[in-house]
Structure 1
Amino acid sequence: MNLQRLKVSVDAHVARVTLDRPDVRNAFDEATIVELTAAFRALADDASIRVIVLAANGPAFCAGADLNWMKRMAAYSDAENRADALGLATMLNTIYACKKPVIARVQGDAYAGGMGLVAVADIAISTESAHFCLSEAKLGLMPATIAPYVIRAIGARASHRYFVTAERFDAAEALRIGLVHQVVAAEALDAAVDAVASSIVANSPNAVRECKQLVVDLAEKPIDEALISDTAERIARIRASDEGREGVRSFLEKSKPSWLA
């Protein structure tokens, strides 16, 4: 991939996608959106990758939309505005629906669309000093494209508050409302991210993929006969899969499965 705004590296089944525009607080524009979409699609299709870390260089994780991009938007036609917004919405969903678990390594502030990047990750780990803000209402806008993921992360109750107040809040509040899973000191961030990534790598790749899809498919669904039947079908299918059979056999025989070899 020819990347100008991101850095991508891979080590021991863990890919790291790093926002690399610290001079603009890693704010994204059209080119960043295209690169993030392409990077996550490529990594999702790479069988050697088992987990992806979304990180950023510099003091901020992501400040949302790039100011120059916003200036260009002001001159867009209705059709151009819709196409541009769809590109952003597609990028967010590409990360959210990625077949590999995504860990957000939040080393600094995440505002507006940057908070969306935290919400689309499966797991988010933040430093104590990071701050968060859904600032769109201050600009006469709304966090529409990130809303499905932010609401899933923090719930409707917290969303009612922070969508309309555009308040800045700290990492402790982000942890309380469910935006992030863990808050650590800055010097402990990499160790915390690496520990979670290692836990994922130690598991069956197929089971991890199916578990992630299970949450995506079942979240907020009513527990009815169709859902009960669906979950029974899923467990029956994975029990009969190659990795499912191998995992149970290895457990019973006290041996290592192939994904730990």
Structure 2
Amino acid sequence: MEQLLPNCETLALEQRGPALMVTINRPEVRNAMSLKMVDELSAIFTQVENNNTIRAVVIRGAGGHFCAGGDIKDMAGAKNQEGEGRDNPFYKLNRAFGEMIQQVNESSKIVIAITEGAVMGGGFGLACVSDLAIAGPTARFGMPETTLGIIPAQIAPFVVARTGLTQARRLALLGLRVDAQEAQRLGIVHEVAGNEEHIETLLAAALDRARLCAPNATAQTKALLHRVGNENMSDLLDDAAEMFSTAVRGPEGAEGTMAFVQKREPRWASN
């Protein structure tokens, strides 16, 4: 995968069949998210968007932690810079993370988060924009920003979308930390694994299911789901009917129907 991101410093990449494994690789700081990491994650998702060999992106942290939040060194560096309003270095730092997490949220690929250890702040936000989140037994989730005198500015909307406003208020306003079981109850994660072997089993099962789903149909379905609640329902359903009609008559629809009739896997399952 060297050609995907030649100057990658904070992430380790490996392509396993149709899945790109992205490992946040700063274990010495519990994978705290630096501006360099933000830039690299954004570059990865830009590159994979039109890469038909990649159907899913799996994000995990090295050294037993997912991501402990923002990098304190970046925050300290910003203090030494000048600027007002949107030229303020803290604005630029925070907004760059927001643009990246929105990009991950809107990716046409299936995004899977494997969460272990510290899943805090920006790491918590990254987990909340995954399509599937699997938690290991050590995972601890939290929004500690208010306890530090700051606010969860860029992740708050995604936490609300994930958990609902009532639970997001409780998490954010009290700066709570919850374990994997509570995170599953709140809808932050979908599955909880008992150990490393179980994590790999759950991930393999998810990737096998992703393999069976048509790439274009998956991308269009994800885009449609993101529109729910943001548009007039009647207009949205009109658009959805047009999308359905096009899909049925398209190559994926024809292949999927034929595969079903012939009781075989569709051709895209082997790509």
Same fold (TM over 0.5): yes
1:13 aligns with 2:18: yes
Structure 2 counterpart of 1:109: 118
State the Cα RMSD in Å: 1.5
% identity of equivalent residues:
31
Partners of 1:62 and 1:260 in 2: how far apart?
32
Structure 2 counterpart of 1:206: 216
Q: How does 1:1-261 map to 2 (within 5 A)?
A: 1=5, 2-76=7-81, 77-78=83-84, 79=87, 80-187=89-196, 188-218=198-228, 220-221=229-230, 224-261=233-270
Partners of 1:260 and 1:100 in 2: how far apart?
15
Displacement of 1:163 after TM fit? 0.9
Aligned residues: 260
Partners of 1:14 and 1:221 in 2: how far apart?
30
1:130-181 C-alpha deviation (Å, 9 max, x unpaired): 1111000011111111112111111101011111000111111110111000
Q: TM-score, normalised by structure 1?
A: 0.95
Partners of 2:264 and 2:30 in 1: how far apart?
48
What SS does the aligned partner of 1:58 have?
Answer: helix
Farther-moved stretch of structure 1 (130-139 vs 227-236):
227-236
1:59-84 C-alpha deviation (Å, 9 max, x unpaired): 21100011111211223423123222
Farther-moved stretch of structure 1 (227-236 vs 168-177):
227-236
- Which amino acid is the alignment partner of residue 237 of structure 2? I
Partners of 2:96 and 2:259 in 1: how far apart?
44
Unpaired stretches in structure 1, ≥5 consecutive residues: none
- Which amino acid is the alignment partner of residue 244 of structure 2? I
Partners of 1:69 and 1:136 in 2: how far apart?
16
What SS does the aligned partner of 2:112 have?
Answer: strand
Are the equivalent residues in 1 in contact too, given 2:212–2:266 (CA < 8 A)? no
Are the equivalent residues in 2 in contact too, given 1:105–1:124 (CA < 8 A)? yes
Are the equivalent residues in 2 in contact too, given 1:107–1:186 (CA < 8 A)? no
1:8-37 C-alpha deviation (Å, 9 max, x unpaired): 110111110110000000001111111111
Displacement of 1:107 after TM fit? 2.1
Partners of 1:203 and 1:119 in 2: how far apart?
22
Displacement of 1:222 after TM fit? 6.5
Are the equivalent residues in 1 in contact too, given 2:116–2:139 (CA < 8 A)? yes
Unpaired stretches in structure 2, ≥5 consecutive residues: none
